[in-house]
Structure 1
């Protein structure tokens, strides 16, 4: 990749749940390196689906780490710039609301097929070149493993900052997971907001597809769906699971939610839904 693109490519330490790839060089070299990385991620998704029962291919998802001082220019007044980038490229783009742990940087999550992602990265780079970072940037450095672990539906997740990262070695993590209390829906919990980084190796996409049902009170269903379905679509995208919300039944105070997918996908979708409910409970408690 270095030879073919002409970019300098460095990968951070390997003892962390996340690793950061840093690209440097002329913009043409960076875009070439980006396209090679994205094509590699696409290859991995395709090969992981060979024995999978999944009918639809999950999108390639990339997270870019950007100084927080540049995010305002990327979002634009009233969100006009980010909307323009979404519409012109066809890629899904989300700018995290909070800074990454112990840094002044924020994560931008881009999802879609390779070509729209590459075009999206180009447009983001153009904006960043036009609006250099202000002040001192404290770079995000992933911490080594040893973060809190939650265990949901037979899948363990390491919680690092605002990210839930699936851990494939469930046996090794089981005891640690059992020491943690399950994710509560309680007013004193801070909730779990922001983007979720999915390690491709952590998701068992070859596992049998199954279904799980949740019952959610009518008055809380809105916080799961979000404005124009934004939140439920985000949960679908992050987990890779299909989520269906049943129509309201007359006389019932609850709604049935059906989650379909791999065991790991179902677990993560359920976890994210509980996080939304917990966040809503925190807001209600504050009011």
Structure 2
């Protein structure tokens, strides 16, 4: 959100982010021209795209009403050939900095209840943050009209309580999906499909070759000093206390996953008084250690 907050709050510039599937290039062009809002769609190969809509609030509402009506048209079109009798509601997913979600929910859920009742739209704020970000998904569904009213109220809340601290924006990444290893290959899960992931497969194969892999470019058999008995070495790193949680995961789930994927042993020292960091020791072959480090940094 830009810093231009003026009294009345409705002619300020505001940025609203929303998650969408698929390509809608032509439609977007028309929406830009008619609404006067800046509409940007994230690039990438992900099925999910982030659509960023920036402009004065009235331009944003205009863009949203066009999006909601377009979604409704799509629903109507898909219903003409189907036997479904009840019409599904239009659903949009906004991406909102977690620091603003509290204001959106209100004390004891009072604000979100008020928005639901006054607009007739269903509003759901996700309990967890989106992967690798400090943003949450807010799902709105209802008639196009209810959705527009609902977006208006959400804009007002976002203007009244700007995000606190730095926001790490959500970027859809195929790799932020769950990862499955099967038959020596790594797959990421997207919707109902498992999609082979070559980069992760390479890492996985490196981790699984217990004789340490030869450094790249040195494929000469019997390279001196690189027989299968390469001694295990250990590597130490320090991690700030406030980040250790996301590496350990709930009841150690994440750290166990990293141990399994890397094949390295990982010990996390207990917190010492007065220190803001924890010592982490990784033991294993050089290949296992570099993979463990990679996975820890990725977290």
With the length of structure 2 as denominator, give the TM-score of the two structures.
0.51
Answer 1 or 2: higher relative contact order, Cα 8 Å, separation at least 6: 1
Query: RMSD over aligned Cα, in angstroms?
Result: 2.8
SS of corresponding position for 1:28: helix
On the 8 A contact 1:104/1:140 being kept in 2, the answer is yes
* 2:38 corresponding residue in structure 1: 8
Shift of 1:50: 1.3
Pair 1:129-2:129 in alignment: no
- Aligned equivalents of 2:176 and 2:109: distance in 1? 37
SS of corresponding position for 2:191: strand
User: What's the CA shift string for 1:209-265, capped at 9, x where partnerless?
Assistant: xxxxxxxxxxxxxxxxxxxxxxxxxxxxxxxxxxxxxxxxxxxxxxxxxxxxxxxxx
SS of corresponding position for 1:52: coil
User: What's the CA shift string for 1:52-90, capped at 9, x where partnerless?
Assistant: 011111111110000000011000001000000000000
Q: Equivalent of 2:95, from 50, 55, 65?
A: 65
Q: Equivalent of 2:74, from 18, 23, 44?
A: 44
SS of corresponding position for 2:136: strand
- Aligned equivalents of 1:148 and 1:101: distance in 2? 10
SS of corresponding position for 1:42: helix
* 2:85 corresponding residue in structure 1: 55
On the 8 A contact 2:131/2:176 being kept in 1, the answer is no
- Aligned equivalents of 2:108 and 2:128: distance in 1? 18
On the 8 A contact 1:16/1:145 being kept in 2, the answer is no
The 1:145/1:50 distance shift into structure 2, 3 A limit, reads farther
Shift of 1:146: 8.4
The 1:146/1:28 distance shift into structure 2, 3 A limit, reads closer
- Aligned equivalents of 1:29 and 1:69: distance in 2? 25
* 1:181 corresponding residue in structure 2: none
Pair 1:165-2:208 in alignment: no
Shift of 1:166: 4.3
Aligned residue runs from structure 1 range 230-245, under 5 A: none
- Aligned equivalents of 1:56 and 1:63: distance in 2? 22
On the 8 A contact 1:70/1:128 being kept in 2, the answer is yes
* 1:101 corresponding residue in structure 2: 131
SS of corresponding position for 1:120: helix
- Aligned equivalents of 2:154 and 2:105: distance in 1? 10
The farther-off stretch of 10-19 and 134-143 is 10-19
Pair 1:116-2:116 in alignment: no
Structure 2's unaligned 5+ residue stretches are 1-30, 181-187, 197-250, 254-299
Aligned residue runs from structure 1 range 87-236, under 5 A: 87-144=117-174, 147-148=177-178, 159=189, 165-166=191-192
SS of corresponding position for 2:139: strand
With the length of structure 1 as denominator, give the TM-score of the two structures.
0.53
- Aligned equivalents of 2:116 and 2:95: distance in 1? 18
The 1:14/1:166 distance shift into structure 2, 3 A limit, reads farther
* 1:198 corresponding residue in structure 2: none
Shift of 1:25: 0.7
